Amino acid sequence: MNEANRYIRFDWAAKRMLRDKANFAVLEGLMTVLIGEPIKIVEILESESNQDTERDKFNRVDVKARNSKDEIVIVEIQQTHELYYLERILYGAAKAITEHIQLGERYDKVKKVYSINILYFDLGEGKDYLYHGSTVFKGVHTNDVLKITTKDENAIRMRTPEEIFPEYFLIRVNEFNDVAMTPLEEWLDYLKNAHIKEDTTAPGLQEARKKLQYLQMEPKERKAYERHMENLMYQDSVFSAAHLEGWSEGKKEGRAIGRAEGRAEGRAEGRAEGEKTKQIEIARNLKNMGVSIENIVRATGLNENEISLL
């Protein structure tokens, strides 16, 4: 790639640059394309992964913002697989709701939350690169959508549950292989390939072209960025190797026990032992690369005592 057309990866920009008010337009563009209406950020709020240390959570980046409609938008970039991922993004949305309502306030003060999740790993089975989920109540017998009557500034209007409940966007970056024709596809091209068309009109990407060029980085920042990229490549390599080795060992172990037992119980035990072996190999590799025990527990399902003995 021509260095003059090389752009900083979105996860790094979100961690270091897009929290600056002068760069809000880039994030606003992504939110606008996904939500389908113009989004203006009022402020960036504190989020659990807003860290700047060398050994920060490069595996995950969170940005939490409040928009001009007083709604909360969470943008999360996740690099590698995490157990119970859907449960965790549900918890994140629920936590955002409770954090932004004061004790004793009426429930009409509950904030609408958008959870935008940019995934660089395989999650579930599906052919699309973008999935959207919202809460809709449908009649079991009539199939009609429930609407709620509310009073807004002395006017009666109808609200649907999706106007109130959180909405979730899952962007499966690795599944995007199309030519970028629409604004959404142009954003996916940037998220996956760090490529932006010169003549782009997609919201936010023209601003990204001006502000996120690799050659505009200060030498110290560029060095840190390159180290970040090397960390990601190394982590991906370790996870892949650990998964392959663990799968191979687990398969062998499962077959050996299955043959020895010769019964259904033996095959079940073999599969269980094989899965355990795979998780242990993954944990050992993660421990060797300096991943915290807390994150290894999340990634493998082993307990802290098992990991400390490796």
pLDDT digits (tens, 9 = 90+) for 143-196: 999 988 877 767 777 788 888 999 999 999 999 988 899 999 999 999 999 899
pTM tops 0.75: no
Q: How many Å apart are CA 4 and CA 192, to the nearest integer?
A: 18
The Cβ of residue 92 has, within 10 Å, a number of other Cβ atoms equal to: 20
**Nearest Cα residue to 8 out of 20, 25, 26, 32:** 26
Question: What pLDDT is stored for residue 254 in this prediction?
Answer: 54
What tokens appear for 168 in the block?
A: 């979730």
Q: What is the dihedral of CA 28, 31, 37, 39, to 10 degrees?
A: -30
Q: What is the pLDDT of residue 55?
A: 41
20 pLDDT higher than 70: yes
259-270 pLDDT, tens digit each: 555 555 555 555
- For the record, the structure tokens of 120 come out as 């660089």
C-alpha to C-alpha distance for 228 and 231, rounded to whole angstroms: 5
Give Rg (Cα) of the chain.
Answer: 23
Helices and strands in the chain: count of H runs, count of E runs: 9, 8
Mean model confidence pLDDT for the chain: 82
Whole-number pLDDT of residue 98: 94
Count Cβ atoms below 10 Å from residue 21 Cβ, excluding itself.
Answer: 10
Question: Within 10 A of 179 (CB to CB), how many other CB atoms are there?
Answer: 6
Q: Which residues lie closer than 8 Å to 293 by C-beta, 6 or more apart? A: 287, 304, 307, 308
Q: Sort 22 into a burial class: Cβ within 10 Å, 0-12 / 13-18 / 19+.
A: exposed
CA distances from 67 to 31, 42, 73, 107, 307 (A): 10, 5, 7, 20, 42
Q: How far apart are CA 247 and CA 191, in angstroms?
A: 30
Structure tokens that stand for 142 in this block: 């009539």
Alpha carbon distance 61, 116 (integer Å): 12
CA 53 vs. chain centroid, Å, equals: 20
Number of C-beta neighbours around residue 30 at 10 A: 29
